[in-house]
Chain A
Amino acid sequence: NAGVTQTPKFQVLKTGQSMTLQCAQDMNHEYMSWYRQDPGMGLRLIHYSVGAGITDQGEVPNGYNVSRSTTEDFPLRLLSAAPSQTSVYFCASSYATGTTVGEQYFGPGTRLTVT
């Protein structure tokens, strides 16, 4: 199993540009989520999904869109990049039964810089 994979590993954007961060998992997990981590800070939840076709907002959803058309993929779209979105973005997945949402597998992260 590859686990949770994220592409790209690094990205530099100019203010106003849009892009999609890719996240895929091969563990047949129902639950997937996106977090951002600013330098020296903890992780903050952006969006999450409990299954294909179902998404919901986390703590900091503004400026980001998600969709979940398949179980495997959960892309994160930045609509119009701003310097405040400079961060490391982590995708995670888990089963969605009982307490297993707490046992999440994280990807290696995408380091995004917006100039």
Chain B
Amino acid sequence: DAKTTQPTSMDCAEGRAANLPCNHSTISGNEYVYWYRQIHSQGPQYIIHGLKNNETNEMASLIITEDRKSSTLILPHATLRDTAVYYCIVLKAAGNKLTFGGGTRVLVKP
């Protein structure tokens, strides 16, 4: 599975949109982009995934560039409860091993 690169940390203001970037320049055609988050001391939580089209659900939106070499997770109205480590993961369609990197530590400030 392709490697991903994320910023180590970022801050965001409560109520504003949080835009979390992820680089996956070696992604191949059958690999999906997944996002998880881990709130302190809890198990990771699945957020969203996509192949090439933009996706939206009740938690977030995922924007994937046309060349698929990068993506952005958008939390539209960040709350203090969104403070967490966010992981961007690339996984083949038939893959069965999620590989977690270092993630981005997001701190939402009042």
Question: Which residues on A are within 8 Å of B, measured CB to CB?
Answer: 4, 31, 33, 35, 41-45, 48, 50, 58-59, 90, 92, 96, 98-99, 101-109
Question: What's the Cα separation between A105 and B44 when bound, in Å?
Answer: 8
> Of A4, A45, A98, A109, which is within 8 A of B98 by CB?
A45
Question: Residue of A at shortest CB range from B34?
Answer: A102
User: CB distance A98 to B93 under 8 Å?
Assistant: yes
Q: How large is the interface on B (under 10, 10 to 19, 20 to 34, 35 or more residues)?
A: 20 to 34
- Given A43-B100, A58-B97, decide whether A103 and B32 contact each other with a Cβ distance below 8 A: no
User: CB distance B102 to A42 under 8 Å?
Assistant: yes
Question: Which residues on B are within 8 Å of A, measured CB to CB?
Answer: 32, 34, 41-46, 49, 87, 89, 91, 93, 95-103
> Of B91, B96, B103, which is within 8 A of A42 by CB?
B103
Question: What's the Cα separation between A50 and B95 when bound, in Å?
Answer: 11
User: CB distance A42 to B87 under 8 Å?
Assistant: yes
User: CB distance B49 to A45 under 8 Å?
Assistant: no
Q: Across the interface, which residues of A come within 8 angstroms of B46, CB to CB? A: 102-105
User: CB distance B32 to A99 under 8 Å?
Assistant: yes
Q: Across the interface, which residues of B come within 8 angstroms of A4, CB to CB? A: 43
Question: Could you pull out 10 A-B pairs where Cβ atoms are within 8 angstroms?
Answer: A43-B44, A58-B97, A101-B96, A102-B32, A102-B49, A103-B46, A104-B44, A106-B43, A106-B44, A109-B42
Question: What's the Cα separation between A1 and B98 when bound, in Å?
Answer: 24
Question: What's the Cα separation between A109 and B89 when bound, in Å?
Answer: 21
B32, B100, B102 interface centre (most CB from chain A within 10 Å): B100
User: CB distance B97 to A48 under 8 Å?
Assistant: yes
Q: Shortest Cβ distance from A53 into chain B, in angstroms?
A: 16
Question: What's the Cα separation between A44 and B98 when bound, in Å?
Answer: 9
